[in-house]
């Protein structure tokens, strides 16, 4: 183990280590430079980061409800507002003019505009009454939600409008 050689080796080792380190540093600088030039770093802008952090903080401030979102009845948003599961705002239906609740608007429209099963039957009853006399027997009576007394009464009277759901169809009355 010769002394001078050891010193030489130490110096040389340091030289090669510095060489490796410089290469690594250039790699890292090159990577960062590329990301900066291509605009791939989304956190670069201070303002963006502020907004993101403030949003996270808001979510965390409402912490009891943040974790209790699943537990409580109402869903809580990031501003801490609670919303009922069915929308409660009331407005006027543009078709029939009745005041309806927002959460119940779709089923209302079904009845109102004739897209649903019952509404369709109502329409066919009033428009094609003559045709439905013979064809609509038992299948229709199964749908009738209204009191069977009127329909039974009609049946007894031999009324052609037997079992129709809406009893206010006046054209059928004999």
* Binding residues vs other proteins (CB under 8 A): 5, 9-10, 12-18, 20-33, 36-37, 39, 41, 44, 46
> CB of residue 52 vs other proteins: minimum separation in angstroms?
16
Nearer to other proteins, 19 or 89 (CB): 19
The distance of Cα 32 from the centroid of its chain, to the nearest Å, equals: 40
> CB of residue 17 vs other proteins: minimum separation in angstroms?
5
Nearer to other proteins, 48 or 69 (CB): 48
Phi, psi of 160 (to 5 degrees): -70, -20
Nearer to other proteins, 24 or 70 (CB): 24
Nearer to other proteins, 15 or 79 (CB): 15
Strands (E), 15-155: 75-76, 82-83, 90-92, 99-101
Tell me how many helices (H) and strands (E) the chain has.
8, 4
> CB of residue 26 vs other proteins: minimum separation in angstroms?
6
Contacts of 166 (CB under 8 A, 6+ apart): 122, 125, 146
């Amino acid at each position: 183990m010769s002394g001078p050689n050891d010193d030489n080796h130490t110096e040389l080792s340091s030289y090669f280590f510095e060489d490796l380190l410089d290469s690594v540093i250039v790699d890292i600088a090159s990577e960062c430079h590329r990301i900066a030039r291509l605009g791939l770093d989304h956190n670069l802008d201070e303002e963006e980061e502020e907004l993101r952090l403030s949003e996270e903080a808001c979510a965390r401030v409402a912490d009891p409800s943040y974790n209790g979102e699943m537990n409580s009845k109402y869903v809580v948003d990031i501003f801490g507002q609670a919303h009922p599961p069915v929308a409660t705002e009331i407005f006027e239906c543009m078709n029939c003019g009745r005041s309806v609740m927002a959460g119940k608007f779709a089923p209302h429209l079904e009845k109102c505009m004739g897209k649903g099963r019952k509404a369709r039957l109502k329409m066919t009853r009033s428009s094609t009454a003559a045709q439905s006399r013979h064809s609509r027997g038992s299948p229709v009576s199964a749908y009738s939600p209204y009191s069977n007394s009127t329909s039974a009464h009609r049946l007894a009277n031999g009324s052609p409008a037997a079992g129709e759901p809406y009893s206010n169809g006046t054209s059928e009355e004999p």
